[in-house]
Amino acid sequence: MKTKVKQFFQKQPHAKLKVKELARKLNANTAKKYAELKEAIYFLTKDDFLVRKGKRIEKVKSSQKKLVGVFQLSKEGTYAFVILKKSKLNDVFIPEKYFGLAFNGDTVEVKLLPNKKGKNLEGEVVKVIERKNDIIVGTLIKRKKLFFVEPKDKSIQRIIFINDEDLNGAKVGDLVEVADIMISNRSSHPEGVVATNFGAAGSFNAEVASIAKEFEFTVDFPTQVEKEVDNISSKIADEEIAKRLDLRADDIFTIDPADAKDFDDAVSVKKLENGNLSVGIHIADVSHYVTHNSKVYEEAMKRSTSVYLVGKVIPMLPEKLSNNLCSLVPNKDRLAYSVILEFDSNIKVVNYQIKKTIINSKRRFTYEEVQEIIENNKGDYLSEITKLNKIAKHLRSERNRKGSINFTRPEIKFELDKNGKPLAINIKTMKESNQLIEELMLLANRVVAGHFNKGDKKNARPFVYRIHDKPDETKLFEFVQFVKSLGYKFNSTSKNLSKEFQLLLTEAEGTSEEAVLNEIAIRTMAKAVYSPKNIGHYGLGFPNYSHFTSPIRRFPDLIVHLLTYNYLENNNNHLYSLVELNEICEHSSLQEKSAVSAERLSVELKQMEFLKDKLGDDFEGIISGVTNFGIFIEVNENLAEGLVRMSDLDDDYYEFDEKNYSLIGRRTKRVFRLGDKVTVKLIRVDEEKREVDFLIVD
């Protein structure tokens, strides 16, 4: 692709094209080819063959040697340096009047100014080659009669002039997105255009939009995707029903959180003539509607995951699919992909089938409703729920016996008013109703993965697995030392290390060390990712594991559905090569990581908003982190986290003991250790800097 792009611009040296225009000319319209094109453009820009000017790309006209580097603005914002690349010259000093269009972190070209005796290299920014951020988000302000945008990213330190005609309806105080930044003839500042108005800065919608922008998640769907989905018929054709196993008469039901809007899994259980139990795990058949290489498929691949911010979901699929056609709502015929398992009297799986089905859910349960039925032994579908709970408890017990690790990291749920303001923060508790669904989903995922990985590596077919590697040896050694310092045993030479982890966490259950041991164990572990190369799932203790059960919100699950159907019922044709699956897995893993970070930030911001009118209040908490600049405290009642700065520990000089996760007073020998219980006073909440400060209360 790099050669094709180079040849195109050599033949047409005056061409100035947008990436999509170039894609059409080079027939790079598939997702894979388009990605290759963008990569080629990136490297040709690095090689100084191409240059970006706004949204267009053109061939570099001059062969003159350029001075290119990264623009680094001073804290004061009155001068900068350009850190040169591929040059033996020193950094170039840039006075404020010669900043041009550069922002902090941009890659720029500089021109040296006449050297003044006794001074360092001094220069002027003549071109921005690559933006650290193409679009800048900030708050609209007014100075005298002129409008400016003050960037949310404080490292930029430059306000952007906005002409009255380019406000696009934005008002002072609104959070906006600025594009088309250029040199202004009307101001000494860069000039831009308000591309998007997120609403009043600090409002719920602005907060959500800002987080989405920060992590590069698109909230709205492209028009062509919406049109494609609008054309999908909600009626299920008779010929489609005829192809499927018809389970509409079965007593199938869903169990989900009370505020769930999409239901992508349902369950059922019935007794067979031979006395065994048939358990159905029914998953929304998204692959029927989202076909390979359709517009909605390509958009889902780009997003890879739904993002669950506080009070707002950025879905992977448009609402017509996620909340309607693919959602297993009660009393509606729905297409599903079912894993149907036969259990004998010893709760052992003796047979299973993976079939496309049509179902009709008879009841929508919340976790709370099912928990009440379990505890009180009465209610709708009591017999079915009791049988499923017995199976789930057995599955969990077997997992634990074989060394599957059950981490207990608490989660929180916000009560919000209509404007998104947090009224209360509640800590979720995992009960039998939650574990019932969790165990059945885990079972379906490993049955599907195991079906396509039966040890025959020679004839193994390309597939997508959810893998989890063993802990890094260095991290494991440090973990073992820490565990021993707390008085616990851990056999790091055991052949079943995951079982050692579970034994430790079980022993610590209910103790003051439980939370910290869980947290450090999680940090010691590798991160689970998607991969076509199956190495098993270390944490769960499964040799084969995949993600099959959430295709409404996870793209790899959709791929697994497509592959499963293709292999089982469509002549084993290969939809994807290993290279394509590897690209999908890498992208999905990165998107998942971004989604987790965005969700965590959303929670932290809401916690800060909840705390900001509680300055001066005392809270009970535990030390959740120890650093050379202070100790992090997690508040027990709402899990908000803040910092006690080293400078505020003024009763002694404290030294950081990294190996033992502690601060130790040089004179008093007082120790602040990870996991210790403390009482703190809230003294500062800075939502802009995303900081919460506490003081230790003696």
Read off the pLDDT of residues 607-663 as tens digits, 9 standing for 90 and up.
999 999 999 999 999 898 899 999 999 999 999 999 999 999 989 999 999 888 899
CA angle 56, 134, 54 (to 5 degrees): 20
Name 290's bridge partners. none
Residues 6+ apart with CB under 8 A from 140: 147, 148, 149, 162, 167, 170, 171, 172, 173, 174, 175, 176, 194
d(CA 370, CA 361): 16
Instruction: List CB contacts of 621: < 8 A, sequence separation 6 or more.
Output: 633, 634, 635, 636, 677, 678, 679, 680, 694
Alpha-carbon dihedral angle through residues 607, 612, 614, 616, given to the nearest 10 degrees? 120
The residue written with tokens 């016996």 in the block is 401
**CA proximity to 476, closest of 501, 452, 445:** 501
Residues (pLDDT < 70) of the chain are 62-65, 115-119, 155, 183-188, 455-459, 571-573
3-state SS assignment for residue 258: coil
Closest by alpha carbon to 624, among 675, 582, 560? 675
In whole angstroms, give the CA distance from residue 66 to residue 643.
46
Distance CA 505, CA 515 (A): 9
Count of CB atoms within 10 A of residue 121's CB? 18
Rounded to two decimals, the pTM is: 0.78
